A and B are shown apart, each in its own frame.
Chain A
């Protein structure tokens, strides 16, 4: 049984956005701490720190989770996706493009988490209704937009991604 003493640090190895990484972490470090501090992936934001606001949402083995509630040691050998993994070679992901086009970004603090929740939805359900979208982002608070622009953006991104998939591009 692996045992790490209080205060001791140990190496945790996992995948972030497809790349294997190793970080030093102690028992009190959370996933968001190693993402932001050790790996300098500061796209993921910490809002409330208690799983209420969704700003820190990342995908863990494909599922949206609050990275402020995940002990770092639990991600050993697992796969994490953050907002930094969305754009490829400087080209925005269709979801990001749609957020820009629909003014779904105002202050921007909730945006990385929103994008990750939306991405999880579109992978599972490429043709969501507005109701499906509202439910998928119900764990992400936005104090600026009033949500309508975000829902419209996700709807538009879904359309765009379906068109891309039909065109044979399976990048998303």
Chain B
């Protein structure tokens, strides 16, 4: 089988084609995941799509803007653009850090935020950051536009709940305002071109007394579905963080991973590492460099 393509100039053209061709059609934007998958399946292999739908010519999908306290990022925005955006670096630094850690300069120049979300890799770097920010995505489809919570988009590794014909057009979330701080830490096998073995995104809010009033802890690459870990967040909230509190919250994240995934061959390694990484991420979010 060989590969055809279409170059839609509007969302409705793209959406219509995608709905008609369902699994036979695949969206391509930056190509950094799709092109690798095509090659792995053999470019002319059986499993792959028959059509690529190139959405890069559809105008108006690449932007980063603030509307009041809401930050909106267009799906076609690249990782490099997010990583160097002064707005993102100032008002949601964990997302800038997550995007700066993706792949290599070449990958970041091409890969898009919409693609990173919709590829739904358990190791995607931006996803824990968006989950910690309680981000929402906007999907444009044949029946119009709908918004969904980021965690409702995923249906397992590399699977989404998005319907044929629906296209992710935007991700938005509340900017971190006074009192809020954040961190993203990632463990890869090397510093560049590393797929996350584990990552942790943390967002915390402290009141004027230094007590943690709200917390969001979202680990990456270790849960079957991206999500926050509420029992760990509950340990931190209402307290002034000290080593005891941070350690027990970190332990809770590791235990939650085991509860959700069961004991696997990798658990012996992952459990202490998730705990250490979470501890580091919480301290980093609180402005303390802990090793």
B148 adjacent to chain A (CB < 8 Å)? no
Contacts of B56 in A (CB 8 A): 74
User: Which of A14-22, A80-88, A92-100, A135-143 lies at the interface with chain B?
Assistant: A135-143
Q: A65–B109 contact, CB under 8 A?
A: yes
| Distance between B60 CB and nearest chain A CB, rounded to angstroms | 17
User: Which segment of B47-55, B126-134, B272-280 sits at the interface?
Assistant: B47-55
Given contacts A28-B43, A50-B36, is CB(A74)–CB(B106) below 8 Å? no
A73 / chain B contacts, CB cutoff of 8 Å: 5, 7, 54
Q: Which of B4, B28, B192 contacts A8 (CB 8 A)?
A: B4
Inter-chain contact B104/A69, CB cutoff 8 Å: no
Q: A71 and B107: CB pair below 8 A?
A: no
Looking at chain A's contact residues, the main secondary structure is: mixed
Interface residues of B (CB under 8 A from A): 1-9, 13, 17, 28, 30-32, 35-36, 38-40, 43-44, 50-52, 54, 56, 80, 103-107, 109-110, 191-193
Can you show 26 pairs from A to B with CB atoms below 8 A apart? A1-B7, A1-B9, A1-B13, A3-B4, A3-B7, A6-B3, A7-B2, A8-B4, A26-B2, A27-B5, A28-B3, A30-B35, A50-B36, A51-B35, A51-B107, A52-B193, A54-B106, A65-B106, A65-B109, A65-B110, A71-B52, A74-B54, A117-B105, A138-B105, A139-B103, A139-B193
Q: Return chain B residues, CB-CB under 8 Å to A160.
A: none
| A144 lies within 8 A of chain B by Cβ | no
Are the C-beta atoms of B44 and A28 separated by less than 8 Å? yes
List 11 additional A-B contacts (Cβ < 8 Å) besides A117-B106, A139-B106.
Answer: A1-B17, A6-B50, A26-B2, A27-B2, A63-B110, A71-B5, A71-B54, A74-B54, A138-B191, A139-B103, A141-B193
- Nearest residue, chain B, Cβ from A68: B35
Q: Which residues of A are in contact with B by a Cβ distance under 8 Å?
A: 1-8, 26-28, 30, 49-52, 54, 57, 60, 63-66, 68-71, 73-74, 117, 120, 135-136, 138-141
Cα separation A27 to B31 with both chains bound (whole Å): 13
Closest to B108 in A: A139
A136 close to B31 (CB less than 8 A): no
Residue A1 contacts which of B1, B8, B80, B191 (CB distance < 8 angstroms)?
A: B8
Neighbour of B109 across the interface among A2, A26, A64, CB < 8 A: A64
Please give, as numbers and ranges, the residues of chain B lying within 8 Å of A120 by CB-CB distance: 105
Q: How far is the CA of A66 from the CA of B106 in the complex (A)?
A: 6
Closest 4 CB pairs of A and B: A139-B104, A138-B192, A6-B4, A27-B3
Q: Are the CB atoms of A2 and B31 closer together than 8 Å?
A: no
Are A70's CB and B110's CB within 8 A? yes
Q: Assuming the A-B contacts A6-B50, A27-B52, A69-B31, are A139 and B105 also in contact, with contact meaning beta carbons closer than 8 angstroms in the complex?
A: yes
Pick from B9, B31, B105: contact of A64, CB under 8 Å: B105
* Contact present for B52 and A135 (CB under 8 Å): no
Looking at A52, A66, A68, A120, which has the most chain B CB atoms within 10 Å of its CB?
A66
Q: Which residues of A contact B17 (CB under 8 A)?
A: 1
